[in-house]
Amino acid sequence: MARILIPTPLRQFTEKQSTVEFAGATVGEVLTALVTRFPDLKKNLYNDEGKLRSFVNVYLNDEDIRYIKKDASPVVDSDTLSIVPSIAGGKNVG
């Protein structure tokens, strides 16, 4: 099973777990298993069209899935997926 690292802001949806494990042949299958087990997490990861939200980055080991095969990226049991929500804000200086 692939390990998924859950960022602190999303742990409220995963029973406060920082890591979970799910089986799947692709990133999409693993993420589907994740939101099936934790349905309240789905609205935070996916938009109404069922696509990953633009501010949610998913890494397969250390590679951004957008630059490999996106949710079709193959996964093996030793892989780690990291969910990294983008953080915006700050102040323009100038």
pLDDT of res. 85: 85
Q: Residue 77 CB: number of other CB atoms within 10 A?
A: 9
Domains by residue range for the chain, with CATH? 2-85 (3.10.20.30)
What is the value of pTM for the model shown? Answer: 0.86
pLDDT of res. 93: 59
Burial of 57 per CB tally in 10 Å (0-12, 13-18, 19+):
middle
**What DSSP designation does 52 have?**
B
10-residue averages of pLDDT along the chain (94 residues)? 95 96 96 96 93 92 93 94 78 58
pLDDT of res. 90: 55
Using CA atoms, how far apart are residues 22 and 70, in angstroms rounded to an integer?
Answer: 18
